[in-house]
Amino acid sequence: MRSVAAVFAALVSSVWVIGAPPAGAQPALPPLPPPGAECNHPNCTPGIQPNIVLGSYCNNTTYYVFGVTSWGRLVFCGSPRRYEPRWFRSPEMHGIKMENDLCPAMEGEVAQAPDGLFLTCVAKDGRSYWERGDL
Mean pLDDT of 69-93: 93
In the chain, pLDDT over 90 holds for what percent of residues? 67
Residue 122 within any structural domain of the chain: yes
| pLDDT given at position 84 | 94
Task: Provide the CA 63 distance to its chain's centre, in angstroms.
Answer: 11
> How many domains does the structure of the chain reveal?
1
Q: Which pairing describes strands 49-52 and 118-124: parallel, antiparallel, or unpaired?
A: unpaired
Range(s) of the domain holding residue 50: 2-18+42-132
pLDDT greater than 70 at residue 92: yes
Please state, in angstroms and as integers, the Cα–Cα distance from residue 120 to each residue in 14, 96, 127, 135, following that order.
Answer: 14, 11, 14, 10
The CB density around residue 124, as the number of other CB atoms within 10 Å, is 10
Mean pLDDT of 61-80: 95
The CB density around residue 77, as the number of other CB atoms within 10 Å, is 25
Residue 33 within any structural domain of the chain: no
Mean pLDDT of 76-99: 93
Global confidence as pTM:
0.74
| pLDDT given at position 26 | 43
